[in-house]
Amino acid sequence: MPAPPFASAKHPVSKTRPYHFFIFLALFAAPLFAIHLQLLNLPFFWDEHGQFIPTALDLLRTGTWIPHSTTPNVHPPGVEAYLVLWYKLFGFSIPLTRAAMLVLASFGLLFSFLLAIELSRGTQGAPAFLAPVLLVASPLFYTQSMMAQLDMPAMVLTLLALLLFVKAKYLAAALASIALVLTKETGLAVPAVFFVALLWRRDWLKASLFIAPAGALGAWLLVLHHGTGYWLGDPGFAHYNVTYALHPVRVALSLTRRVYYIFFAEFRWIGTLVLIFAAKRMKVLQSPAWRVTLAAACATVVLVSVLGGAELERYVLPVLPVFYIAVSVALTYLSRRYSLGATVALIAGLITSLFWNPPYPFPYENNYAMVDFVRLQKLAAGYAENHLPERRIATAWPYTAAFKSSDYGYVNRPLQVIETHDFHASSIESLPPDHFDALITFTRTWASHGFISILPVKWLLSRYYDWQPDISPEEVGALGLTQVASWRLRGQQIAIYVRGAPKPVWRISAR
């Protein structure tokens, strides 16, 4: 029997016995659960309680696919449907949610291993084992693997679709692609690459299978438009993630940021140097399997650079396993001494980056800073619940959601909140004083003052990203508010101000 077009002719596609599959799944799941065990009770973070958990709970409790507890948007409800299956079996809880996502992440490690086997054929040693190790050591995968968000599931399904495609299981790859686009709409880049690859071979029948994912996404958009009147669910979401994001300067900066994160950030420059050194000898990269894999990775990077106003690093999570597989293969072309040294240095750098914050702005969810962020917000919410139960509290989204329900792990009973878009002085000053009695401010993103103070950086952020400094304590005081509590933790801060308070009553610095 001839080898499939996207498999090596010398090395036919491997056949994995079912029990091997579950053995390796357990092998990857055990350490992943172990390193997250202490965080299973961690309250939800940012978009979790701002978007995805409310959507899942609406589906669980009312059967509605379009949320009413939060603003609907274009994201398909695949992840929420997955979580609801767990909730129906075991009941809703934060630890169960985190465990469910870790199960999914374990499959991601398994699929990265199996894909690495296919892509490393013809090389020496066993590079396929290194790829999932590097992925586990990555700060972004560490945080996203337990979070109820879209990008880690999108990574899992991207790897599965690629694996099935290079093994020439086209119908299964098309089904995986449908699941991918119903998890995250930008996953459409992957089946689009498959479609073009098969058209290039003039295999019209197999290519037609990969029209189905676009049809599935189109069906979701019809449902969304019928329920909301908007194709993307909400005009504000559409403006921020399409109109705003499509500015040529923002697109260029977003693409630059993507390339920097994949190839240089978190000590991945070590892997990039290895790739550069070994590139000319890596004939394996010329195989059809590698070509379609790299094309899918590039298409994903381009699409998430063009769309998405937030420009979060988690958008490129589906691409990181491909980078690590390539590095793992490249290391086989180095001498044993240099290969071992580069491997140890890269793993050590990734682990260090989990706890070390870079000297430039980055989303907290990229590393352990998200845990500090959640713990600070939990402390402030506890204070507000005990000392300000009848006060109207102004704060920024999505912290407002944390006060509205006990589902998210912050309060035991709902508190009155008023939402402000940000903590710019103009935003706070525009709130009618008789509409709120307390204000909670917090460090929304990591922003090194040294980096922000660089004039070209400051101009760029102000001109194209509407950056302004947050309101100062002195400006808050001028509004008749007194700081009554504050907490600091590894460079982050949260503070509570109350109107008419005679003096500060609570002030803590945790370092």
Tell me, what's the pLDDT at 9? 42
- Shared domain for 218 and 268, answered yes or no, is yes
Q: How many CA atoms lie within 13 A of 477 on its CB side?
A: 8
Residue 313 within a domain: yes
pLDDT tens-digit profile of 86-114?
999 999 999 999 999 999 999 999 999 99
Residue bearing tokens 């090389």: 123
- The answer to whether residues 341 and 443 belong to one domain is no
At 486, which helix (H) or strand (E)? Answer: strand 481-489
pLDDT confidence of residue 13: 46
Q: What residues have CB less than 8 Å from 466, skipping those under 6 apart?
A: none
Predicted pLDDT of residue 505: 52
Domain boundary among the residues 313, 338, 356 is at 356
Q: Both 324 and 445 in a single domain?
A: no
Q: Which of 331, 356, 381 is the last residue of a domain?
A: 356
Stretches where the chain sits below pLDDT 50 are: 1-3, 8-13, 511
pLDDT in tens, 207-216: 999 999 999 9
Residue 351, burial from CB neighbour count under 10 angstroms (0-12, 13-18, 19+)? middle
Give strand ranges (E) for 366-467.
Answer: 392-396, 416-420, 438-442
- Ranges assigned E (strand) in 241-370: none
170 Cβ contact list (under 8 Å, min separation 6)? 164, 194, 198, 206, 209
Distance of CA 249 to the CA centre of its chain: 23
Distance (Å, rounded) from C-alpha 206 to C-alpha 365? 39
Give residue 35's domain range: 18-356
In this prediction, residue 510 carries a pLDDT of 53
Residue 312: DSSP 8-state: -
The number of angstroms, rounded, from the C-alpha of 147 to the middle of its chain's C-alpha atoms is 8
Within this chain, do residues 267 and 390 fall inside the same structural domain, yes or no?
Answer: no
Q: Does 384 lie in the same domain as 279?
A: no
pLDDT for 3:
43
Q: What residues have CB less than 8 Å from 254, skipping those under 6 apart? A: 245, 305, 306, 308, 311
Q: What pLDDT, on a 0 to 100 scale, did the predictor assign at position 506?
A: 53
Looking at the structure, tell me whether residues 421 and 474 fall in a common domain: yes
Check whether residue 330 and residue 380 sit in a common domain: no
State how far the Cα of 500 lies from the Cα of 438, in Å rounded to an integer.
9
